[in-house]
Every structure is written in structure tokens, then in C-alpha cells.
Chains A and B, each alone.
Chain A
């Protein structure tokens, strides 16, 4: 799956989302569960704001010295016998990985969860040359089995499905005969995956954070699948976004703590693994060959711009879990493998405005995302900045909007609302008015009045009242 997950129009995707009651219930209950858990985990840590500042500082430091740390990382990986490949584009990254695998005459590939491999369209590239690619994260596995349903969340990719739907998918695709109990569903998948782990030739993982000083790869999971992906197959390939690294284990510890608390409200996840290079002599397990693929794919062009802070992201999804728009429309509406606030900021940067120009507007700028972000990315402000670019540089704003906003510019003698208000005040609005309300608005009010009344402007504006009052005149 590449970054773009749908060719349907934004409006149609949203329409589907807001009318999908199953999905919306699944999303809102997940949001509530995660919200509560995150707050508890964060409280428990104490002085959360200091931790956030520390997280921000670490990420900013890495970004300002990215070339240094990438160099150090590559050097240390090579020293331990690993191969490092810098991929400028998605195609280069997936092409390199394909070549490595094909050369090995491999048949089966097991993968642990990785968003960046989705971004570089890895599965399709590998499947095109006849490889059997198996996702081993439960959520990803469900989606893969369900005819490659796109992920709707970066941590819980199958969040949009409830257990009954998962049971039905398994019944149809895996000859599953048991109930929708999570334990039974999981046990069934475990049985299948065990065989895949044992027979796979290559294991592919993502990377939560690479540690530059030691050349290690840090992986955070709750299922332990990444550990099997890296312990059993002979060849391991790890794919990372070029910004996903930390200087030393000290910073790793801080960021992992922020990540697990923000993502799932846990102090730590069940498995946190740091792997350093291929198997050493005398090691009982681990790969014989190790490749690290470092993906740019548009990231370096974000560096040094007003959007640089988005590269601080540690993909915890806290912003998604608190987003009131995501709650209503679900992940698929965003049409990107990166949904929610982080997706609305990142997708246009990595994938271009043509495909993702609506996303920055899919926000009330309520700032819940900014508040939740453990590394203090000002997400709502970055969304606003996107709008600025769309208006000023991309010139993609609708004409009517431009005209309305112009009023602010011309000395602002009569800004939009005043114009709008005074136009509405007298007879102009009377066909739409019943008493003091407008139930079927014209123009931009149409979508508002589909679900709500709009107040007709009062007979007397506040300023008139104040003026009369000062004059000692009659006021109501």
C-alpha cells in the first residue's frame, strides 16, 4: 500500500465514514478507553510537562544534528557487520529490499508492524515478484487477510473493525469456526503465524528508534512478534524513516517511556527489544545477515522549513486518539496511511497537496492534538500553516473564499462577518427567516443549517445599544 489509500473524493470518503455507525462506535469507544489510560499513565509519571519538554528537546537536537547522527548510526551498523542503504525515494527503498530478497531465492517473508514499509509500498512490490509476505502484527494481519483493507490508525491499524467483523472475516478467509472472543481469535492466528515464522526466509521490521551510538535498532511491541521476526529468519531487513533515531540509550529510554504511555497508556509495552547487527559467533539466534534501509522519501525537504517540527513525531497516535474529527470520520476518510492530525500535517508534505489538500481543513483547530503530543509538535498550528501555503503558494483556495477574506485585507474597514452580518440583517434574509432563526440558509450557510438553526442577526447590534445608552437614550 502506498501512502494514498483511496482514489475516491475526500467528500465521498467522509460521507462514507460518517454514515458507518459500526466504525464510529468502534472508534469512539477506543478513543475513550485510550484517553483514560493515557491520562492515568501520564499522571503516574509525574511532571508530565517536563517530560514533554525533554522529549521535544531530544527530538529537536536530533533533527538539528541529523547528518551527524545518521553517519554515526551507519558507521556503527557497518562495524557490526550490517549493511546500510540510504534510499532517497520510496521506489529506491522497496527496490533495494526486493533485490536483496530475490538474490536469496527466498520464498516467504514475515513482517512486523511498520508504517514506513506501507509508505514505500513494500508489500505490493514484493508480492509482484511472487513472494509470500505475511504481516505478523495482529491488526495488520487482519487487514491483510481482509483483502488488504487499508489501515485506519497508525498504532491500531484495524481500529475500525469490531470483533464481530473480525470473526466474520476469519470465517470467510481462514475457515474459522469459533466465536468473536478475542482470545479465540488470537489463538487461531497464533497457530497460523507460528508456521510462518518457522518457515520464513526473511524478516522485515520497522524501527521505533535507532540508537546512533551503538548502531542498535529499538523495537516496541505488545505481541512479541517483532522478536520472532528478527530471531528466526536468516536475513533481517529493518526499514526506518531517516528521522527515527536517538543519540544513545539514555534518550531511547525517555522516548520509549513517552511513546508507550502516550500510545497505549502503558508504563512499558510487553516487549521492548534492542537489536545490534547480525548474529555474533556463539549467539544462539538472530539473523545471519542484517540490512538497515534508511528512507528519506521527502523527509529531508521538510528539514529547515516551517514544518520541520513534524519530524519530531514518534508515531504514538496520541493526537489521533484525542481528535474529535477523526472520531466522527474514522481513519479511511483521510485517504492516507497516516490519518488524524499527524496524517493531516504529514501527508501533504510527503505526498503533495494535489492528493491531500483537504486534510488540513479537516480540523476545527481545537488543539487537542497539540495538547496530547508527547514531543510538543504544534499540530494545530502546522495545520493552519498548511492552509496558508494552500492559499498563498499553491493558490488552491476557492474564489468565493478569497473574495470573502479580501475584506480583511483592505484596511479591514468592513471585514467579512460585518459585511455578511449587515447583508443578512435587513430584508435579504427575510425569505429564509422564521422568527429569530434561519433554518435553511443560502450560500455558505447551507451546510450549517442542514443540522442546526442559525440565528438571524438581532434587530439592534450591540454597538447600537451601547451608543444609545451612552447618549442616555432608550435601550432594551
Chain B
């Protein structure tokens, strides 16, 4: 199966390990990976900050970039949700609405793609230790992907997944919110990290690089031993 990877800007620039793990994992599951280099950012930082006009230019570029793809897969619930929102943004636009809808229809978040399209629930991964999982807001509430990550993680050998208290609360990332309202964001992530600590987990796993950067940054600052991993990295551990 041919898969076109949308790496996302955070992964591309800051977390290339997540990109690599995604490629290796999907290849192991029999996919052929294509990475169009003209891809940029999905436009979400501008869109969510109120710069709709500007964001649409980025979106058009992304629509063009992925026009020929069969499946677009991304290791981010938030960026996938943004692609899914494109048709709403181009509603009534004679040229772009249809194209936006076609991109939205073929876009999948990584775990969703593995479970729903590849129909795989056990990727054959092994990771020893205790983990807790951060259900990122856009992945669960906007994209409505709730089960897939849990199913995949439940099959990782050696991994015990323990529930995270107050999992429903946002970690405080929120894109530009984290710098615009840095002190509120800092309090939010502190609460999240305390909850993670309370589980006694060795690993904090998540499906969105933004949240992981935020939570990981706080864990590092506090000098805690919890290791932060993207679900792609976990599923790629063999």
C-alpha cells in the first residue's frame, strides 16, 4: 500500500525521531512511504490565531502537495484534524472546496490508519515497563480517535498501561497559547506532570508532538526520570 507521509513541522524540525519511527513502522507493516518535500505546515498556528486569510495560503499549498496521494498519514491527531477542517474553510470556493474535501477524506492519524485501514491491532512491538497515555485534545475531541491508540498499546509486549488521572484535561500546549499565555500554560502542564508522576509510570506516551514537547519540557525541567515517547516510537520498538 502506498502511503504519503505528512510529517508535520514539529516532527520535521524538532522530533525527527518520531518521523523516522513512523516511516520504519509503516514499512514494517508493508507500506511504501512517499514524503513530498514541498510539504510545509498545515496552517493551524495561523488559523487558530485568527489569521484565516494567511492560513489558507498554506492550506492551498498542502492541498496541492498531497493531491495525488492515495492515503495521507500523519503522526499527529491535531494536524490530521486540521486537514479534516479544510473543507469547512473552503466552503463555497469553486476551485478549492472539492480538493479540500478529497484531502480530508484520505487523511488519517497514524494509529487510526493502522487500526482502521491496515486492520492491524498488534504491530509486534515490545517495550518493557509501565506507561501512561496522554489523550491529546484534538485527537480525541476533534478527530474523535479514542480507541485506536489504546488498542495498539494494549498489544505491546511487556508494556503495562496505567490510566492517567484527569486525562481529559488539556496539557496546556494549545500552540501559540503556550507562549502567549505562558504562565497559565505552565500551571496546566505542571498539573499534568504531577498526575503523570502519580501513576509511577516509566513512560509517558502520546500521539501529538506538540503536547509531548510541552509535557516533556516540564518533566525535563523538574528532572524527573519519566521518559516521553511518541506512540510511533513505542510501536516501532522491537
Cα A466 to Cα B17 in complex, Å, equals 11
Contact A444 B179 (CB under 8 A): yes
For residue B117, CB closer than 8 A to chain A, the reply is no
For residue B31, CB closer than 8 A to chain A, the reply is no
Q: B20 — nearest CB in chain A belongs to which residue?
A: A465
- Which of chain B's residues have a CB closer than 8 A to the CB of A389? 50
A sample of 4 more A-B contacts (CB under 8 A), given A15-B183, A408-B43, is A405-B49, A408-B55, A409-B51, A418-B9
Contact A466 B19 (CB under 8 A): yes
For residue A54, CB closer than 8 A to chain B, the reply is no
Contact A465 B19 (CB under 8 A): yes
Distance between A309 CB and nearest chain B CB, rounded to angstroms:
15
* A416-B41, A453-B221, A455-B217 known; A363+B52 contact, CB < 8 A: no
- Which of chain B's residues have a CB closer than 8 A to the CB of A431? none
Contact A387 B177 (CB under 8 A): no
For residue A149, CB closer than 8 A to chain B, the reply is no
- Contact check: which of A363, A390, A410, A461 meets B57 at CB < 8 Å? A410
Cα A392 to Cα B56 in complex, Å, equals 14
A-B contact pairs, 6 of them (CB 8 A): A324-B172, A366-B170, A408-B45, A411-B61, A447-B180, A452-B186
- Contact check: which of B13, B47, B49, B54 meets A418 at CB < 8 Å? B13
Distance between A473 CB and nearest chain B CB, rounded to angstroms:
14
Cα A448 to Cα B186 in complex, Å, equals 7
* A322-B168, A421-B9, A444-B179 known; A409+B54 contact, CB < 8 A: yes
Cα A416 to Cα B10 in complex, Å, equals 12
Chain A, residues 429-470, CB within 8 Å of chain B (1/0): the string is 000000001010000111110111111011011110111000
For residue B188, CB closer than 8 A to chain A, the reply is yes
Q: B136 — nearest CB in chain A belongs to which residue?
A: A366
Contact A408 B51 (CB under 8 A): yes
- Which of chain A's residues have a CB closer than 8 A to the CB of B7? 462-463
Query: Residues on B close to A: CB < 8 A?
Result: 7, 9-17, 19-20, 23, 35, 37, 40-41, 43, 45-55, 57-58, 61, 137-138, 141-142, 166, 168-170, 172-191, 213-214, 216-218, 220-221
Distance between B160 CB and nearest chain A CB, rounded to angstroms:
25
Contact A368 B184 (CB under 8 A): no
Cα A234 to Cα B20 in complex, Å, equals 76
Contact B177 A370 (CB under 8 A): no
Distance between B176 CB and nearest chain A CB, rounded to angstroms:
8
Contact B178 A448 (CB under 8 A): yes
Contact A417 B50 (CB under 8 A): no
Number of interface residues of A (CB under 8 A): 70
Contact B213 A411 (CB under 8 A): no
Contact B137 A364 (CB under 8 A): yes
- 8 A Cβ contacts from A328-360 to B: 328-329
For residue A367, CB closer than 8 A to chain B, the reply is yes
Distance between B114 CB and nearest chain A CB, rounded to angstroms:
20
Contact A388 B50 (CB under 8 A): yes
Q: B53 — nearest CB in chain A belongs to which residue?
A: A409
Contact A324 B169 (CB under 8 A): yes
Distance between A420 CB and nearest chain B CB, rounded to angstroms:
9
Q: A17 — nearest CB in chain B belongs to which residue?
A: B184
For residue A412, CB closer than 8 A to chain B, the reply is yes
Q: Which of A368, A412, A448 has the most CB of B within 10 A?
A: A412
Cα A9 to Cα B104 in complex, Å, equals 42
Q: Which of B166, B184, B185, B188 has the most CB of A within 10 A?
A: B184
Contact B50 A391 (CB under 8 A): yes
Contact B54 A451 (CB under 8 A): no
For residue A415, CB closer than 8 A to chain B, the reply is yes
Cα A451 to Cα B142 in complex, Å, equals 28
Contact A364 B57 (CB under 8 A): no
- Contact check: which of B14, B169, B177 meets A457 at CB < 8 Å? B14
Chain A, residues 3-22, CB within 8 Å of chain B (1/0): the string is 00000000000110010000
- Which of chain B's residues have a CB closer than 8 A to the CB of A35? 168
* A368-B137, A452-B221 known; A392+B50 contact, CB < 8 A: yes
- Which of chain B's residues have a CB closer than 8 A to the CB of A384? 47-48, 50
For residue A261, CB closer than 8 A to chain B, the reply is no
For residue A104, CB closer than 8 A to chain B, the reply is no
Distance between B182 CB and nearest chain A CB, rounded to angstroms:
2
- Contact check: which of B45, B47, B187 meets A328 at CB < 8 Å? B187
Distance between A404 CB and nearest chain B CB, rounded to angstroms:
9
* A391-B51, A415-B41, A465-B19 known; A365+B184 contact, CB < 8 A: no
- Which of chain B's residues have a CB closer than 8 A to the CB of A328? 184, 187-188, 191
* A367-B137, A462-B7 known; A451+B218 contact, CB < 8 A: yes
- Which of chain A's residues have a CB closer than 8 A to the CB of B142? 367
Cα A15 to Cα B182 in complex, Å, equals 11
* A363-B174, A467-B37 known; A325+B184 contact, CB < 8 A: yes
Cα A356 to Cα B11 in complex, Å, equals 35
Contact A409 B189 (CB under 8 A): no
Cα A36 to Cα B138 in complex, Å, equals 22
Distance between A320 CB and nearest chain B CB, rounded to angstroms:
14
Contact B10 A417 (CB under 8 A): yes
Q: B173 — nearest CB in chain A belongs to which residue?
A: A364
Contact A453 B184 (CB under 8 A): no
Cα A409 to Cα B61 in complex, Å, equals 11
Cα A232 to Cα B108 in complex, Å, equals 62
Cα A425 to Cα B12 in complex, Å, equals 12
Q: A422 — nearest CB in chain B belongs to which residue?
A: B13
* A421-B9, A452-B220 known; A387+B50 contact, CB < 8 A: yes
- 8 A Cβ contacts from A264-288 to B: none
* A406-B54, A409-B53, A416-B46 known; A365+B41 contact, CB < 8 A: no
- Which of chain B's residues have a CB closer than 8 A to the CB of A198? none
Contact A362 B184 (CB under 8 A): yes
Q: A384 — nearest CB in chain B belongs to which residue?
A: B48
Contact B172 A437 (CB under 8 A): no
Chain A, residues 364-402, CB within 8 Å of chain B (1/0): the string is 111110110000000000001011111110000100010
- Which of chain A's residues have a CB closer than 8 A to the CB of B168? 35, 322, 368
- Which of chain A's residues have a CB closer than 8 A to the CB of B186? 447, 450-452
Contact A447 B183 (CB under 8 A): yes
- Which of chain A's residues have a CB closer than 8 A to the CB of B41? 408, 412, 415-418
- Which of chain B's residues have a CB closer than 8 A to the CB of A153? none
